[in-house]
Amino acid sequence: KSTVAIVGRPNVGKSTLFNRLVGGRRAIVEGKPNVTRDRIYGETEWLGRKFNVIDTGGIVLHDNDKIKNQIKYQAEVAMEEADIILFVVDSRTGMTGVDEDIAQLLYRTNKEVILVVNKVEDFSNQEEIGWEFYSLGFGDPYLISAEHGKNTGELLDEVISKLPEADEDEVSEEKINIAVIGKPNVGKSSLINHLLGKERVIVSDMPGTTRDAVDTLIEWKDVQFNFIDTAGLRRKSKVKEDVEYYSNLRALRSVDRADAVLMMIDAQHGITDQDKKIAGYAHDEGKAMVIAINKWDLMEKDSKTMERYTDEVYYQLKFLNYVPVTYISALTGERIDELLSLLEFVVDQSNLRIKTGILNEVITEAVQLREPPSRKGKRLKIYYASQVGIKPPTFVFFVNDPNLMHFAYQRYLENILREAFGYVGNPLKFKLKQRN
Ligand code: GDP
């Protein structure tokens, strides 16, 4: 696995940066002869890439408290073990002689060195802060505040881009990316905050692929849910999402990254045109989806209210008749667990792959039950079908003439496949190929 080492003189903020990168995860402490305090390293993950981080500040030579030797040893460990070295300096103190000494040591390495200027408070004048460190000879410095997590995402983007090619096992699986979409005030922030409020939940902010998109990672029953671009929601950003253009672009972008889309509807307002548009986009993109009707606690209901509401949802969103609808309250937490189960389930279903043999048995039977359409005396013949893809489930039908397929008949086949295999919450893609 790739390793990133943090070096720098004492008090520049190495441990803070280390903790920032490794998060709440426990640092693994490994005993070594010659060192009293043990090497400190942790594992982290960024954009699906896993790597180790070493805090060389945790490495202290036995019975030798001379800073110079200490640092020399730390730098050597870094040069030996790391693929990438983060060389940290302090913007408050400016450059010091010790920084220059470390630079001298690091010149000898052929490893990637990224110069990091820490403790930056004011990012408005980056040139001014960074210029003196150029003389260290490691190119453009990265200005960050490890303490406040400012620009650490950009730094990690850079680290990732410089890591050697990943092995299979370094790419993490099992993380479910969820895009939460819905009009302002529908309760998106409340939902995220509710999830974060629970003790069962482990949280960290994960970077998105874009600078301003910061995700919220939540663990629930051994499943990691990554709520895309939601960190801002937790703290209700000052910039209200009242510019539709902007918020839509943003929503589309998070849909693109999602394994499943959670569409939230305000129970009292129902479905809007905007909801339809974004839902349509998610459908076209082949995303798994769950619809949550929020603020259900505010509704006056009887035993039929839910049923009627669901009918209305499917009436408004005809093309989404495969999407499960659930009724929640982000405020009281009602049915939030069910919602998470559903999200996990639809993602599971998006990976469903049916063997060709069984698929064709089901289709043969369906064709016997209902005759395919014909036009001008020519009837559609389905020779053979195969599921050729997942996410979304994609099928190829080999037929005598693709033009003979009728929308209603395709709908019928789709329903048959759903009855037989499920694919709950997922749009199905059909491709017709001519075979003579
Ligand atoms: P966002 O813009 O989608 O993030 O919406 P917010 O989470 O900020 O919610 C907008 C308002 O609706 C806030 O005043 C919330 O307290 C309220 N709210 C959110 N969810 C619920 C709910 O399930 N029930 C009730 N009664 N109020 C809710």
CA–CA gap between residue 152 and residue 19 (Å, rounded): 12
Atom from ligand 1 closest to the CA of residue 296: 23
Atom 18, ligand 1: which residue's CA is nearest?
187
Does the pTM surpass 0.95? The reply is no
Q: For residue 424, name the pLDDT band (cuts at 50, 70, 90).
A: very high
- pLDDT, position 28: 42
Query: Is residue 265 over pLDDT 80?
Result: yes
Same domain assignment for residues 70 and 118:
yes
| Higher-confidence position of 33 and 148 | 148
CA–CA gap between residue 258 and residue 228 (Å, rounded): 7
Same domain assignment for residues 164 and 188:
no
Q: Does 294 contact ligand 1 (Cβ within 6 A)?
A: yes
- pLDDT, position 149: 86
Same domain assignment for residues 252 and 377:
no
- pLDDT, position 432: 93
- pLDDT tens digit sequence for 24-57: 544 444 444 433 343 477 778 887 788 888 888 7
Q: Does 192 contact ligand 1 (Cβ within 6 A)?
A: no
Task: List Cβ neighbours of 364 (8 Å cut-off, separation of 6 or more).
Answer: none
For residue 195, the CA-to-ligand 1 centroid distance in Å is 14
Can you give the residue range of the structural domain that contains 419?
Answer: 356-434
For residue 274, the CA-to-ligand 1 centroid distance in Å is 18
- pLDDT tens digit sequence for 103-115: 998 998 888 999 9
Same domain assignment for residues 119 and 216:
no
- pLDDT tens digit sequence for 317-339: 999 999 999 999 999 999 999 99
Same domain assignment for residues 240 and 154:
no
Same domain assignment for residues 186 and 319:
yes
- What is the number of domains present in the chain? 3
* Alpha carbon separation from 181 to 188, 339, 346 (Å, rounded): 8, 14, 16
DSSP state of 224: E
Same domain assignment for residues 316 and 414:
no
Atom 22, ligand 1: which residue's CA is nearest?
295
Same domain assignment for residues 200 and 332:
yes
Query: Is residue 360 over pLDDT 60?
Result: yes
Judge whether 279 and 320 are in contact, CB under 8 Å: yes
State the chain's mean pLDDT as an integer.
84
Segment 378-407 shows an average pLDDT of: 93
CA–CA gap between residue 220 and residue 426 (Å, rounded): 22
Query: Is residue 234 over pLDDT 90?
Result: no
- pLDDT, position 37: 41
Query: Is residue 252 over pLDDT 90?
Result: no
Nearest 10 degrees: Cα torsion 100, 105, 106, 109? 160
- pLDDT, position 202: 46
Q: Which amino acid is at 16?
A: T
Where a domain ends, among 300, 325, 350? 350
Same domain assignment for residues 180 and 274:
yes
What's the token pair of residue 428? 């199905």
CATH of the domain at 260: 3.40.50.300
User: In this prediction, what percent of the chain has a pLDDT beyond 90?
Assistant: 50
For residue 369, the CA-to-ligand 1 centroid distance in Å is 48
Q: Which amino acid is at 263?
A: M
Same domain assignment for residues 104 and 82:
yes
* Alpha carbon separation from 387 to 178, 318, 356, 428, 430 (Å, rounded): 25, 24, 7, 10, 9
Query: Is residue 278 over pLDDT 70?
Result: yes
ipTM: 0.93
Q: Does 387 contact ligand 1 (Cβ within 6 A)?
A: no
| Higher-confidence position of 350 and 47 | 350
Same domain assignment for residues 325 and 195:
yes
177 is in an annotated binding site: no
User: In this prediction, what percent of the chain has a pLDDT beyond 70?
Assistant: 84
Q: Does 329 contact ligand 1 (Cβ within 6 A)?
A: yes
- pLDDT, position 65: 59
Same domain assignment for residues 153 and 37:
yes
